[in-house]
């Protein structure tokens, strides 16, 4: 396990340096329903947008501890900004690590590694195998971060003569296609309660040819590029760490804001400030402790698995289950913290445009995601109980 005191915060510092701009642009991103151009430009200017990539793709290959702390910082600043962090950064990380050499050269090298990428990796498409690649058709929902992306990722099932490829009993082969933006049709249905500024549009393609070199297996763990343990752990753990960190970051922003508010907040007919009320003091202590415990669980689960892979050990189903359960637990904990903060803040938490109001909407939108649903916890428990040997989706 990586000692927290030795955490390298080089990428966290890049995110922290964007605080003022994120605060300034948060309302504009919500208005245009995708991340504003000044924010995207600054993510590139600072190096944050490509920081998680393999070194050859302009990244620094941070540890899981550093990725987690970076995502917490981004989500603390603003939920939409944090969500873009867990969408764009892992998407380009995966493509840069797992695309074959020809595809990497076309997507990354040809653009000096300035590649913003988002999308939906669940295999809602079908790719008919043809000479040199696939004829891809499909429709995808909630393509996180694609409103400002030059390339769009799209999960699909390869078909040979109309038949799926199977890699195990009941488990079809799943691939990801990397598509130039101009080949994609967008349905801007992103009119939602929270995470308004993420540009998470629905999209589709119809009979588009995708060469083999611009596809990779969804559960790939053998990188063509990159030497960090994360590249040998695959997209699922990175995505899980992102969801956990995002929820923790948004919850922390609410806890911090309500703590600051407490000194000057008076409820009707109450002569004592919120900070002076024993019930608030007890609630604050409890929820801050609960938040810290969830954060430490996430750090422990992911760094233990990372250390095992770094030592050359197998990323076992049990280790993968530990990481996914930590992500689900952190999400549930963050939601409880957010609900408490919203309630104790009273009418201060319902005024449009405040961080508390926006963070509450973001929390209850982001935590609807299937990646941290109760089914994930049940799949993990079945592995621990010996009911199943593995669940590749973990």
Across 77-100, average pLDDT:
98
List pLDDT tens digits, range 313-368.
999 999 999 999 999 999 999 999 999 999 999 999 899 989 999 999 999 999 99
Going from the C-alpha of 341 to that of each of 53, 109, 334, the distances in angstroms are 35, 46, 11
pLDDT band, very low/low/confident/very high, at 106 (cuts 50, 70, 90):
very high
| CA angle (16 as vertex; 12, 18 as ends), nearest 5 | 130
| Cβ–Cβ under 8 Å, residues 128 and 134 | yes
| CA angle (101 as vertex; 98, 104 as ends), nearest 5 | 70
In-domain check, residue 111: no
123 and 243 belong to one structural domain:
no
Q: What is the pLDDT of residue 8?
A: 67
Backbone angles phi, psi at 317, to 5 degrees: -55, -35
- Close Cβ partners of 161 (under 8 Å, ≥ 6 residues apart): none
Q: What is the pLDDT of residue 263?
A: 87
371 and 248 belong to one structural domain:
yes
The pTM for the full model equals 0.95
236 and 319 belong to one structural domain:
yes
List, in sequence order, the alpha helices (H) in 263-394.
278-310, 317-344, 355-366, 374-385
In this structure, of 47-61, 161-175, 302-316, the range with the lowest mean pLDDT score is: 161-175
370 and 260 belong to one structural domain:
yes
Name the β-bridge partners of 152. Answer: 118, 179
Q: What is the pLDDT of residue 355?
A: 93
91 and 163 belong to one structural domain:
no
Of the candidates 217, 249, 268, which is a domain's last residue?
Answer: 217
Q: What is the pLDDT of residue 357?
A: 96
List, in sequence order, the alpha helices (H) in the chain.
10-16, 19-32, 37-46, 64-77, 79-98, 101-107, 235-262, 278-310, 317-344, 355-366, 374-385
291 and 318 belong to one structural domain:
yes
**Domain CATH for 77:** 1.10.540.10
Per-residue pLDDT at 394 exceeds 50: yes
266 and 381 belong to one structural domain:
yes
In-domain check, residue 2: no
142 and 85 belong to one structural domain:
no
In-domain check, residue 224: no
Of the candidates 186, 217, 248, which is a domain's last residue?
Answer: 217
User: Which residue segment(s) compose the domain that 195 sits in?
Assistant: 116-217
Pick from 187, 189, 222: nearest CA to 203:
187
| CA angle (187 as vertex; 183, 188 as ends), nearest 5 | 120
Q: What rounded mean pLDDT belongs to the chain? A: 94
Across 296-311, average pLDDT:
98
44 and 88 belong to one structural domain:
yes
In-domain check, residue 313: yes
Name the β-bridge partners of 128. Answer: 135, 159
In-domain check, residue 390: no
In-domain check, residue 109: no
Q: What is the pLDDT of residue 268?
A: 66
262 and 372 belong to one structural domain:
yes
Total structural domains in the chain?
Answer: 3
372 and 260 belong to one structural domain:
yes
């Amino acid at each position: 396990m990586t000692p927290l005191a030795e955490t390298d915060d080089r990428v966290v510092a890049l995110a922290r340096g964007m605080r003022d701009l994120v605060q300034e642009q948060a309302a504009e991103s919500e208005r245009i329903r995708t991340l504003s151009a000044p924010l995207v430009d600054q993510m590139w200017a600072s190096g944050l947008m490509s920081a998680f990539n393999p070194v050859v793709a302009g990244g620094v290959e941070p540890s899981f501890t550093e990725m987690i702390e970076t995502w917490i910082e981004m989500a603390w600043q603003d939920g939409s900004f944090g969500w873009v962090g867990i969408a764009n950064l892992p998407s380009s990380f995966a493509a840069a690590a797992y695309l074959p050499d020809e595809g990497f050269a076309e997507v990354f090298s040809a653009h000096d590694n300035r590649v913003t990428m988002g999308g939906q990796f669940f295999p809602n498409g079908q790719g008919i195998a043809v000479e040199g690649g696939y004829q891809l058709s499909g429709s995808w929902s909630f393509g996180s971060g694609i409103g400002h992306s030059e390339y769009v990722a799209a999960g699909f099932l390869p078909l040979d003569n109309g038949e799926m490829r199977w890699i195990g009993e009941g488990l079809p082969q799943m691939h990801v296609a990397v598509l130039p933006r101009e080949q994609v049709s967008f349905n801007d249905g992103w009119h939602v309660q929270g995470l308004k500024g993420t540009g998470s549009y629905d999209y589709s393609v119809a009979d588009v040819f995708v060469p083999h070199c611009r596809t990779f297996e969804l559960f790939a763990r053998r990188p063509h590029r990159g030497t960090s343990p994360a590249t040998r752990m695959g997209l699922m753990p990175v995505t899980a760490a992102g969801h956990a960190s995002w929820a923790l970051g948004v919850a922390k922003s609410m806890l911090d804001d309500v703590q600051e508010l407490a000194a000057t907040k008076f409820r009707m007919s109450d002569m004592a400030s919120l900070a002076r009320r024993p019930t608030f003091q007890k609630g604050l202590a409890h929820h801050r402790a609960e938040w810290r415990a969830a954060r430490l669980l996430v750090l422990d689960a992911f760094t233990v698995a990372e250390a095992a892979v770094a030592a050359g050990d197998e990323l076992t189903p049990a280790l993968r289950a530990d990481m996914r359960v930590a992500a689900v637990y952190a999400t549930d904990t963050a939601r409880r913290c957010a609900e408490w903060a919203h309630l104790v803040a009273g009418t201060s938490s319902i005024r449009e445009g405040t961080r508390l109001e926006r963070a509450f909407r973001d929390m209850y939108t982001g935590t609807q995601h299937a990646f941290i649903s109760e089914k994930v916890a049940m799949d993990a428990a079945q592995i621990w109980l010996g009911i199943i040997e593995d669940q590749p989706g973990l």
